[in-house]
Structure 1
Amino acid sequence: MALFGGLKTIYSKYQHRSSRCAYFCIPTLEVEVEKIRNIGISAHIDSGKTTLTERVLFYTGRIGQMHEVRGKDNVGATMDFMDLERQRGITIQSAATYTSWKETNINIIDTPGHVDFTMEVERALRVLDSAVLVLCGVGGVQSQTLTVDRQMKRYEVPCLAFINKLDRMGANPERVVLQIRSKLRHNAALIHLPIGLESDFKGIIDIISRKAIYFEGALGNKAVANVDDELGEKFLEDADLSKEDIIAAIRRCTLKKTFTPVLLGSALKNKGVQPLLDGVLAYLPNPSEVENFALDPEDNEQKILMNPSRSSAQPFVGLAFKLEAGRFGQLTYIRIYQGQLKRGGFIVNVRTGKRLKVPRLVRMHSNEMEDVQEAYAGDICALFGVDCFSGDTFVAESSRSLSMESMFVPEPVISLSIKPTNKNDIGQFSKAIHRFTKEDPTFKVHFDDESKETIISGMGELHLDIYAERIRTEYNCPCETGKPKVAFRETIGSIAQFDYLHKKQSGGAGQFGRVIGEIQPLGEDKLTSVEFSDETVGMNIPKNFIPAIEKGFRDICETGIISGHKINGVKIVLKDGTSHAVDSSELAFRLAGKGAMRQVFPKANPIILEPVMLVEISAPEEYRGAVLTSMSRRRGVITGSDSVEGYFYLFAEVPLNDMFGYATELRSATQGKGEFVMEYQKYAPVTPQLQDTLVKQFEEERLRKLKK
């Protein structure tokens, strides 16, 4: 850093508008599409996403005061508006806001970092044009970072990386960049260099503009830059390249996802936020630079490129990606991909075909809203009083029925029983369950006819715990929950043939249906799906009975055969069969499908699968032995480890069934200093001993019910 000792020219680059102002100048919706950015703030838990968003809102003048996630003033960060979020110090729901920087409108969605709420990240990235990937300067690439990166790649979202918390002891941005390259496979490079680290972190060097930027003032709201024309020679070999040339090249590569620029800062210490905003404008795309397609169901799902130009007369197309229960009814967040949406206008829900009026149109700032009369392509807004589900596509009244591609919804991995403590609260309980299942596709509920219990399923213990707590606090309905149950699955290990005849005669018309075919394993990459293929030739089975046969097979797949868990990872191939002119019916062939599945499944080497979690543990180095021992007891397979400043990070794959109660064990083994996070990784076969136990328990339970 001695290089900057002789820098003499000083000027103020970022002068934040007065923090005492009691108002914010709302950015108008009527701007050119080039002046819009739709970004998500995504990262591993505790990397500083919400704190960073709070600083962005402050430096752009959107809010007048900054508050901390776990602040002593009991106010909490703007984007964590739920009481539970402020109590626990974590983000549970993604929250949308908007602001303006250098005459560009920026729509921001702050997403949760905990894997249990991964659906919130999923649906945000589905509708956003780009993202800021936040990484801890100490922790670097962590387990949820990998998940978020996979989600970005799934929706082809370009991003820039922001290494946060450079004021913390052990911060090392160069090591984090190496992890971005090796673990995430990004072609990443620093475009900032730090001026000092840990407690000496004072600012950054912007390599592109050839300036050293220091953040002064109590709130870091003055960023002063030292300028030296000779500085560039230290970083740039080609003196003929201008700043504009370099920025344009970085932008092109970022948009093509062949390069990831890495910026530096410390949101908590108010350093590096304004240059990050400049980076968002310089390197991330506006809506016109992102290709979005709708599918035409009337033309073999033909892809139709959306036109985001605001001067275009193309009809309206929008996607509802998030639902909330608002003060005035259901609040539906919608991304507009084409055309414009007007208050009082009419739109059509493509899924239901219903014509709906837009009674109220708003823009969201956390849990606050501002009424607008119309919104345009590229905007993210919200509707009141529109009945729909997450993932529904809306089109203009006179438009053809186009449908936006749906978002990926992961399967739940854990279940537990739940019931209201007071039977008089059953009405409130039902309202809560209906609302939450509508809002969150990963929160599923069913009633078990055998046990007479309501079963809720989700992405983890915390996920279900949060919903049980919300039922209590938001609906005044205390609940009792049962022991968590793992979502085991049944599958097969080999191909087997079936030839099943369902025949029943009891006077009058009987039932007749014969099905012939085979069942096949789908392989490790499709262990969570079931496929059905009709390969019949001729009319031995009339085509109108084929859906009934498939329904019979899928009915059994929902209930399981050897352990009572769902069957996944199989393909049923129907090759032939026989029908009867009088006795064959949809019911007969549906029952034939069920019977064939019961007949063939035990012959196909049945296997029980269990969800395996990717677990990341961090603890002081002296507890490494105790943690390794605990992982061994829980059948954990160590996949990697790392050490940073006296702490070690352990990565392991562990069956979910063996992870219950681990939080207490880890705290005990590390004197409260150890932490862990986990996320769903894959389904894998259980041990032979566990499979025998599960099959035996299922048989005993079945016999017990038969005796009643």
Structure 2
Amino acid sequence: MHEVKGKDGVGAVMDSMELERQRGITVQSAATYTVWKDVNINIIDTPGHVDLTIEVERALRVLDGAVLVLCAVGGVQCQTMTVNRQMKRYNVPFLTFINKLDRVGSNPARALQQMRSKLSHNAAFVQMPIGLESDFKGIIDLIEERAIYFDGDFGQVVRYGEIPAEFRAAAADRRQELIECVANSDEQLGEMFLEEKIPSVSDLKLAIRRATLNRSFTPVFLGSALKNKGVQPLLDAVLEYLPNPSEVPNYALLHQEDDSKEKTKILMNSKRDSSHPFVGLAFKLEAGRFGQLTYVRNYQGELKKGDTIYNTRTGKKVRVQRLVRMHADMMEDVEEVFAGGICALFGIDCASGDTFTNKDNSGLSVSESKQNPHRAEGPCACLELENGAQGEQESI
């Protein structure tokens, strides 16, 4: 763990540009991945500065869930409102992480109040800090009612314990507030609340997940990234409350072959299944030392090294000679990428927003595709912007 400014001579892994380390801010979005509890998580780190907001826009376009990072000192700032509008536009469910609780002047309660007043979110703490600023020792898990401490030089050893006596009354009040906020946005928990039943831990977690996916509730987590406090519970929450690729409906548009303007919307199969044709979206182009690097989100099927794919905008075909997974500015060659994955290709002539597919010449007519909405064969022209959850609702 390092600071972005790189005072230690190393700097943060995801902020690899020299300019980023000089300025102490993220300038361009960077992709990486991690495995947490045997689940692969693709991560895109985006800038927070208003001048670089297009980097957030094109990243949110392909993400299934997000973590909105707030500063415990600064709270909700101008650009937070812009990012909030972008997440709403793309219907991205999200968690909120209030960072820098170890800084002088940190006030997470004020940041939560600003989320409610400035962003109009139904938000509540799912954690509570044990001390603030230099006294920040750990967090209290309000759902499971236990204290969590982070031992070791880098906070890598997670230790659980009883809630300290002086925090028990405040923790009980915060937990009740959490239940009320979730009950306001989830029908099942709302019924239990009206019947004055005490929800179990699993009931509460399932209700938070449903409300988060509907974007009707925002769980708020706490910690200090530099000290690695609160990061492990946040990763647990990503697995518990954010959707996996197979739970997010994504659509493709199928153009008619007679040049008519009629378009058919097709639901893509986002499961890890190679029997469906490949459909991917180029969402970012980057000039690297090996030429143009094209970041692609795989929405359906399987992309293999050596495959021939078609750009549906230009009709040109190209062979995938090298397939890599990105870890900031480092690359790892891979043989295949399944639905839900993010990869990068070299030597592809395309524009940002182009769709790629392995055009199926099996003679399947457009009318058959209409009747079978789970197949996306044929010349898919583009991917719909509707990659959200269930309809119009008001959640990285």
- Whether TM-score is above 0.5 comes out as yes
TM-score (norm 1): 0.47
Residues 672-701 of structure 1, C-alpha deviations (whole Å, 9 max, x = no match): xxxxxxxxxxxxxxxxxxxxxxxxxxxxxx
1:208 maps onto 2:168 in alignment: no
- Residue of structure 2 in register with 1:86 after alignment: 21
* CA distance in 2 between partners of 1:240 and 1:353 (Å): 59
Structure 1 position 326, deviation (Å): 2.3
Q: Which runs of 5+ in 1 are unaligned?
A: 1-65, 409-708
State the alpha-carbon separation in 2 of the partners of residues 241 and 138 from structure 1. Answer: 34
Two-structure CA RMSD over aligned residues (Å) = 2.1
Q: Which residue of 2 aligns with 1:272?
A: 230
Deviations 1:593-631 (A, max 9, x none): xxxxxxxxxxxxxxxxxxxxxxxxxxxxxxxxxxxxxxx
**Aligned residue number for residue 296 of structure 1:** 254
1:470-491 superposed Cα distances (whole Å, 9 cap, x missing partner): xxxxxxxxxxxxxxxxxxxxxx
Of 271, 290, 300, the match for 1:338: 300
1:374 aligned partner, one-letter code: E
Q: CA deviation at 1:353?
A: 0.2
Match of 1:446 in 2: none
* SS in structure 1 of the partner of residue 61 of structure 2: helix
Shift, 1:119, TM fit: 0.7
Q: Deviations over 1:51-77 (max 9, x none)?
A: xxxxxxxxxxxxxxx222123222211
Matched-pair contact (CA < 8 Å) for 2:127–2:140: yes
Report the AA paired with residue 186 of structure 1: H
Distance of 2:128 and 2:8 partners within structure 1: 34
Partner of 1:401: 379
Q: Note if contact 1:345-1:358 (Cα within 8 Å) is conserved in structure 2.
A: yes
Q: Which residue of 2 aligns with 1:313?
A: 275
Q: Is the 8 A contact 1:122 1:407 kept in 2?
A: no
State the Cα distance separating 1:301 from its structure 2 match: 2.5
1:176-325 to 2 correspondence within 5 Å?
176-227=111-162, 235=175, 240-298=198-256, 300-311=262-273, 313-325=275-287
Instruction: Please tell me whether the aligned partners of residues 292 and 306 of structure 1 are also in contact (alpha carbons under 8 angstroms).
Output: yes
> What letter matches 2:212 in structure 1?
T
CA distance in 1, matches of 2:146, 2:328: 35
Distance 2:8 2:160 in 1: 33
CA contact (8 A) 1:123 1:407 kept: no
Which residue identity lines up with residue 395 of structure 1 in the other structure?
T
CA drift at 1:100? 0.6
Choose which of 70, 75, 79 in structure 2 pairs with 1:135. 70
1:374 pairs with one of 336, 343, 358: 336
Shift in Å at residue 312 of structure 1?
Answer: 5.9
Q: Which amino acid aligns with 2:132?
A: L
* Counterpart pick for 2:104 among 169, 174, 180: 169
CA 1:142–1:291: 2 relative to 1, 3 Å: same
CA distance in 1, matches of 2:145, 2:346: 49
What is residue 362 of structure 1 aligned with on the other side? 324
> How far apart in 2 are the matches of 1:316 and 1:197?
49
Report what 1:120 is aligned to: 55
TM-score between both structures, scaled by the size of structure 2: 0.82
Give, in whole Å, the separation in 1 of the partners of 2:95 and 2:27: 24
Quote the Cα distance in structure 2 between the aligned partners of 1:189 and 1:348.
46
- Which structure is larger by alpha-carbon Rg, 1 or 2? 1
Shift of 1:277: 0.7
1:550-579 alpha-carbon deviations (Å, 9 max, x no partner): xxxxxxxxxxxxxxxxxxxxxxxxxxxxxx
Counterpart for residue 184 of structure 2: none
Stretch deviating more after TM superposition (288-297 or 141-150): 288-297
Shift of 1:323: 0.8
> Which deviates more, 100-109 or 267-276?
267-276
> Which has the higher relative contact order, 1 or 2, with Cα contacts under 8 A spaced 6 or more apart?
2
Quote the residue 2:288 is aligned against: 326
User: Structure 2: which amino acid aligns with 1:273?
Assistant: V
Partner Cα distance (1:337, 1:95) in 2: 19
Distance 2:382 2:241 in 1: 26
**Structure 2 residues not aligned, in runs of 5+:** 177-192, 361-376, 387-396
Q: Which residue in the other structure is 1:555 paired with? A: none
Report how far residue 207 of structure 1 moved: 0.6
Q: Deviations over 1:128-169 (max 9, x none)?
A: 001000011111110000010011011000000001111122
Q: How far apart in 2 are the matches of 1:160 and 1:188?
A: 10
Q: Which residue of 1 aligns with 2:370?
A: none
The alpha-carbon deviation at position 252 of structure 1 amounts to 0.8
Alignment check: 8 A CA contact 2:273 2:339 kept: no
Query: What does residue 101 of structure 1 align with?
Result: 36
**Cα-to-partner distance string for 1:635-687 (whole Å, 9 max, x where unaligned):** xxxxxxxxxxxxxxxxxxxxxxxxxxxxxxxxxxxxxxxxxxxxxxxxxxxxx
Identify if the C-alpha distance between structure 1 residues 312 and 363 changes in structure 2 by more than 3 Å, giving closer, same or farther. closer
SS at 2:286 equivalent: strand
Matches within 5 A, 1:615-654: none
Distance 1:79 1:312 in 2: 31
- Aligned equivalent of 2:393: none
User: Structure 2 CA distance, aligned partners of 1:406 and 1:243?
Assistant: 37
The answer as to whether partners of 2:94 and 2:218 remain within 8 angstroms in 1 is yes
With over 3 angstroms needed to count, the CA separation of the structure-2 counterparts of 1:312 and 1:242, relative to structure 1, is farther
CA separation of 1:233 and 1:192: change in aligned 2, threshold 3 A: closer
3-state SS, counterpart of residue 60 of structure 2: helix
Distance (Å, rounded) in 2 between the aligned partners of 1:246 and 1:233: 15
Aligned-residue identity in percent: 65
